[in-house]
Structure 1
Amino acid sequence: MANQSSIRPGQVWLDTEGKRIHAHGGSIITVGDTFYWYGENKEKSTPGSGIWHYGVRCYASKDLYNWEDKGLIIPPDLEDENSSLHPSKFVDRPHIIYNRFTKKYVCWLKIMQPDASQKSTVLVADDILGPYTIVRDGIKPLGMSAGDFDLVVDPHDGKAYYFFERVHSEMIVADLTDDYTDVTGYYSTHFPQPHPPFVREAPAHFYRKGLHYLVTSGTTGYFPNPSEVACSKLYHGPYEVLGNPHVNDASNTSFGSQICSVFKHPHKKDLYIALADRWVTEHVPGNPKTYEEAAERFDQIFNPDKGLDPTVDHFNPVDTSKADFVWLPFRFDGKMAYLDWKDEWRVEDYE
């Protein structure tokens, strides 16, 4: 394979063996001089397959352009249909943080349940590439149904925080225990909303120049919607909503994507990269074509005044095995963080 020398948002991204990269809903962690990009492996998640995920896949790179497949660091459990890791289970959004005190890599997974509630599974490993062992399974942190989330470690004191969507309700910021495998019980609440599509989900945290930033999306499933940036001087807020970061995005779809995390380049002064998934790459008849259509349909399903059953799926399946990635660098103006569309860009263009 020819070496890539740039990032091309929204285009099919192949690994060094020429295969489509599958690291969705995840993030990048730097170990030594190597970047590790991990996420949901959707290679087998075609409509009708009964496969939601096929484990957590990880790739390694030195330059953020060329990625070597390191395989399934958390393989699916093919034997036990009741396992949280069975391919039929709705495993989403792996996030991994390193605990410098226990010398463990800690991974949290969100697992949607058939009744639309959501639970969490926690795994640990001695190496970023595993093997990972489940230490907590099927938990409801703080007794809550915990949806999309981000994990954050304070670089100074090593304290860790868990930002999650309390399903269809509000955003929670919770302190993690010293071993990062559970919550302490201390938490704060933010951005309360009555129901989807207004509820904020998919939180992505980053810290810059004394401010904690939180980028979130609305709640319209795999169909993209407008992002929102908020900031605070403290992990626990209060957060000031600054607005939609996507510049000139007439479609109201965050350039057809959903941000899953923000990666601060460790060797650049001010390069923060929004990592996003483009889940829908082809229109399926019967599904919404615009954000406005998707938002109206989610409002019909979840608005109690409209009386529809939220457990009924009113959408045709999306082929996530063809999902792509949209990576864009933030541009800052005062407090506000903006994302401008770029067909192609290079890390080398930043100090």
Structure 2
Amino acid sequence: MRRLEGFLLLLLLLAGCISLPAQQKEGSAALIKPGEIWPDTDGKHINAHGGGILFHKGIYYWFGEHKTAGRGGNSTLFGVGAYSSKDLTSWKNEDIVLKVEENDSTSEIIKGCVIERPKVVYNAKTKKFVMWFHLELKGKGYEAARTGVATSDSPTGPFTYLKSYRPNAGVWPINVPSSLQAKKVDETNLKWWTPEWTKEVQDGLFIRRDFQQGQMARDMTVFVDDYGKAYHIHSSEENLTLHISELSDDYLSFTGKWSVLAPAGHNEAPAICKRNGKYYMITSGCTGWDPNAARSFVAESIMGPWKSLGNPCVGEGADLTFESQSTYILPVQGKKNAFIFMADRWRPKNPIDGRYVWLPLLFEDEKPILRWQDAWDLSVFDKQGKETKASTKKTKQP
């Protein structure tokens, strides 16, 4: 009987009726295969788009947008999903950990809102898991440009929604000079995308426009530094400028200390890591659901100044970031200076079919480098060249 079952299975595989997992063991190493179907332990394609990963007590927790099939699949009909893994290749579905409201029409996260790019961090002082995400209100398109926060006592939820923000209302960024804060500009005479308009954006045109109500917050990530301070990094000013905002000690609000990165540079999809005391960020340009060339930056302080390092991708497909867009940079536990670049291949016509592109983030001449690999495993980090002798001591708060 077993021989018959094995023969039938072989026939199905040859006929293409059964697909092998994109992350499977070959020999002793579990392979990561970018851009392919990634089944969870139940055999279903992982549904955690635009996500981020938290490592807690020996387990990785992957949080992401729960998509549905069809053109309307980007509206949030269920909430934020989560998966858990001990090895970054075998993922267990932990279900929806932040559920949208079904009946309370006064809730900001009523069914049909848009929740994007959820990121979860752990606050060691409060013992709370804190989730931040880009929030667009139901029926408002992308006009709201808010960031929402929720908390839980467990990484697998349930998370309780608290509130949303337009960050830093009534506060100037630390790197915009006072001479520009009171600048008067007649916006009616400015034509978008002209050199004159770009110069005004660089000089804080939209910061002044949104000063009282708070700044726009769209694509975002959260980064916890090695001294415990957390930062919310988000695309703002009509997606033209990145804002880096310091969070309160409980990670639930903003302190009012913030800075701008690449004014008028048109960056979104920020992902950040820290290596040898320096901060590295990878972003994308703004071309809707279509991929574009990634950008990279480096800074000595998280508040800047930041220096552009150009496109980190090299080789065939580099001009489109291998048909993907950045979402997170994951430090690999137990390996020094080992990072995984996480990105999404969006499928706007059928969002549930979005694929994941994970690649080893390597460094050459102190610059982040991404090369396409059809399949790879964590041993790639053991093969890196000798580490630089740069200091790895904890840095002081900026």
Distance (Å, rounded) in 2 between the aligned partners of 1:73 and 1:217 = 28
In structure 2, the partner of 1:272 is 339
When Rg is computed on C-alpha atoms for both structures, the one with the higher figure is 2
> What whole-Å deviation, never above 9, does each CA across 1:160-184 have from its counterpart, x for those lacking one?
1111111322111111111111111
In structure 2, the partner of 1:350 is 381
1:146 aligns to what SS in structure 2?
Answer: coil
In structure 2, the partner of 1:141 is 167
Bigger mean CA offset, 108-117 vs 84-93: 108-117
CA drift of 1:49 comes to 6.1
Distance (Å, rounded) in 1 between the aligned partners of 2:152 and 2:119 = 13
What is the TM-score of this pair, normalised by structure 1? 0.83
Aligned AA (2:322)? F
Bigger mean CA offset, 176-185 vs 105-114: 105-114
Q: In the superposition, relative to structure 1, how do residues 180 and 45 fare at CA in structure 2: closer, same or farther (>3 Å)? A: farther
Residue 189 of structure 1 pairs with residue 215 of structure 2: no
1:321 aligns to what SS in structure 2?
Answer: helix
Q: In the superposition, relative to structure 1, how do residues 250 and 58 fare at CA in structure 2: closer, same or farther (>3 Å)? A: closer
Aligned AA (1:226)? A
Aligned AA (1:232)? A
Q: What percent identity do the matched residue pairs reach?
A: 33
Aligned AA (1:346)? D
Residue 124 of structure 1 pairs with residue 151 of structure 2: yes
In structure 2, the partner of 1:109 is 133
Distance (Å, rounded) in 2 between the aligned partners of 1:84 and 1:271 = 38
In structure 1, the partner of 2:118 is 94
CA drift of 1:159 comes to 1.0
Tell me if the contact between 2:281 and 2:298 (Cα under 8 Å) persists in the aligned partners: yes
CA drift of 1:335 comes to 1.7
In structure 1, the partner of 2:99 is 75
> What whole-Å deviation, never above 9, does each CA across 1:245-272 have from its counterpart, x for those lacking one?
1112446210000110000101112321
CA drift of 1:48 comes to 4.4
Aligned AA (1:41)? H
CA drift of 1:135 comes to 1.9
1:326 aligns to what SS in structure 2?
Answer: strand
Matches within 5 A, 1:11-50: 11-42=36-67, 44-48=68-72
Residue 332 of structure 1 pairs with residue 363 of structure 2: yes
CA drift of 1:210 comes to 1.7
Residue 171 of structure 1 pairs with residue 242 of structure 2: yes
For this pair of structures, how many residues does the alignment match? 308
2:219 aligns to what SS in structure 1?
Answer: strand
Q: In the superposition, relative to structure 1, how do residues 242 and 8 fare at CA in structure 2: closer, same or farther (>3 Å)? A: same
Which structure has greater helix proportion?
A: 2
In structure 1, the partner of 2:392 is none
Aligned AA (1:165)? S
In structure 2, the partner of 1:233 is 300
> What whole-Å deviation, never above 9, does each CA across 1:112-137 have from its counterpart, x for those lacking one?
24253311211111111112112223
CA drift of 1:50 comes to 8.0
Distance (Å, rounded) in 1 between the aligned partners of 2:263 and 2:381 = 37
Aligned AA (1:161)? Y
Question: Which residue, out of 245, 254, 265, partners 2:321?
Answer: 254
Q: Cα RMSD between the aligned structures?
A: 1.8
Q: In the superposition, relative to structure 1, how do residues 48 and 110 fare at CA in structure 2: closer, same or farther (>3 Å)? A: closer
Aligned AA (2:229)? K
In structure 2, the partner of 1:7 is 32
In structure 1, the partner of 2:3 is none
Tell me if the contact between 1:84 and 1:91 (Cα under 8 Å) persists in the aligned partners: no
Tell me if the contact between 1:22 and 1:57 (Cα under 8 Å) persists in the aligned partners: yes
> What whole-Å deviation, never above 9, does each CA across 1:65-85 have from its counterpart, x for those lacking one?
110111111122222345333
In structure 2, the partner of 1:159 is 229
1:350 aligns to what SS in structure 2?
Answer: helix
Residue 318 of structure 1 pairs with residue 318 of structure 2: no
Tell me if the contact between 1:136 and 1:181 (Cα under 8 Å) persists in the aligned partners: no
Q: In the superposition, relative to structure 1, how do residues 72 and 230 fare at CA in structure 2: closer, same or farther (>3 Å)? A: same
